Amino acid sequence: MRRTASRLFRRRNQLAAVASVAAAAVCAIVLAVPADGGESGAARRPDPSYRLPRASASGQAFEGLAAVGALFGYSAGRLGDHFCTATVVHSSGGDLAVTAAHCVTGKPGQIAFVPGYANGRMPFGVFQVTQIYTDQAWNSAQDPDDDVAFLRLSATGDGIPVEDITGAEQLGTSEPGGGQQESTLVQVIGYPDGADQPVLCVNWTKSHSPTQLEFDCDGYTNGTSGGPFLADVSGAWGQGTIIGVIGGYEQGGLTPSVSYSSVFGTDVADLYQTAEADG
């Protein structure tokens, strides 16, 4: 299991973040953030002038993307260390994120999602995971083709869902033998363990097998599991279509230079619909 941390709750006990909202609104977010997402997110939309940086053949640290964030251990109202990556995905309730199933073996209430996390800053708040959805094939045999999980997230104290604050990626699925096995240009984002910034790299996917995608780029170490494979990304908001997450074969890969994802097919589409219907 290259990409996940073995300890979800470790040393970090003094994260303080400052988030800027519009030109002059600044609010401090301390470590003991309420489970409902902390402060109101009404004015915390991403900057529409945001541009994704250029990336090289090796993952480059950058300031983060609003809809992509880190998963943290969460206990007694406090965050532990981040251990995986997740992404807000569009849903009718605006409260779903997607990650790798092998990332979320713990109880929902012991995990929190921090979108846009970078350098100790939590610009869009903290959202507790309230429900985890995984496929039966994963639950029974940890089938790498079903290494995908959807997470239901708490709203802010004002009842605002995360998608209204960060925006969301579209979910892209295909039938077996469909276009996802073809080479696709993607941007892959992940949060390495022990790092305070995510890494980003752009490259073409390969077909590792009929059910697994491969992405070659160095720098994707432990903690990047669940990181999105984003296709057709818009420059204005950094939003696109998520066609995979780091996971699947070898739980995402055994070396930092090669990553995998299960193909998002009918099983993922069905799992998403289950999560939608449960909302």
> Both 258 and 271 in a single domain?
no
Residue 25 pLDDT greater than 50, yes or no? no
pLDDT on residue 66: 93
> Both 150 and 66 in a single domain?
yes
Mean pLDDT of 236-264: 92
pLDDT on residue 176: 53
> Both 79 and 66 in a single domain?
yes
CB of 187 within 8 A of CB of 207?
A: no
pLDDT on residue 156: 93
In a domain, 26, yes or no: no
DSSP state of 276: H
Which range marks the domain in which residue 213 is found?
A: 171-264
> Both 254 and 274 in a single domain?
no
Round to whole Å and give the CA distance between 94 and 92. Answer: 6
Residue 16 pLDDT greater than 70, yes or no? no
Residue 12 pLDDT greater than 50, yes or no? no
Round to whole Å and give the CA distance between 180 and 170. Answer: 15
Give the 3-state secondary structure of residue 216: strand
User: What is the overall mean pLDDT for the chain?
Assistant: 82
Q: What is the pLDDT of residues 66-124, one digit of tens each?
A: 999 999 999 988 999 999 999 999 999 999 999 999 999 878 899 999 999 999 999 99
> Both 124 and 182 in a single domain?
no
In a domain, 13, yes or no: no
Q: Label residue 171 by pLDDT band (50, 70, 90).
A: very high
In a domain, 234, yes or no: yes
Q: What is the pLDDT of residues 212-241, one digit of tens each?
A: 999 999 999 999 999 999 999 886 667 899
Please report, for the domain that includes residue 178, its CATH number: 2.40.10.10
pLDDT on residue 175: 62
pLDDT on residue 106: 77
In a domain, 196, yes or no: yes
> Both 135 and 254 in a single domain?
no
In a domain, 8, yes or no: no
> Both 253 and 272 in a single domain?
no
> Both 156 and 248 in a single domain?
no
CA separation, residue 50 to residues 13, 92, 233 (Å): 31, 25, 12
> Both 70 and 190 in a single domain?
no
In a domain, 15, yes or no: no
> Both 217 and 103 in a single domain?
no
> Both 221 and 259 in a single domain?
yes
Task: Choose between 234 and 127: higher pLDDT.
Answer: 127
164-191 as b/e, with b when 16 or more CB fall inside 10 Å? Answer: bbbbbbebbbbeeeeebbeebebbbbbb
CA-nearest of 24, 33, 42 to 72 is 33
> Both 120 and 184 in a single domain?
no
Strand partners, 187: 202, 230
pLDDT on residue 2: 52
In a domain, 255, yes or no: yes
Cα dihedral 135, 136, 137, 142 in deg (nearest 10)? 80
pLDDT on residue 27: 29
In a domain, 210, yes or no: yes
Using the structure block, give the residue that is written with the tokens 């206990």. 75
Total domain count, the chain: 2
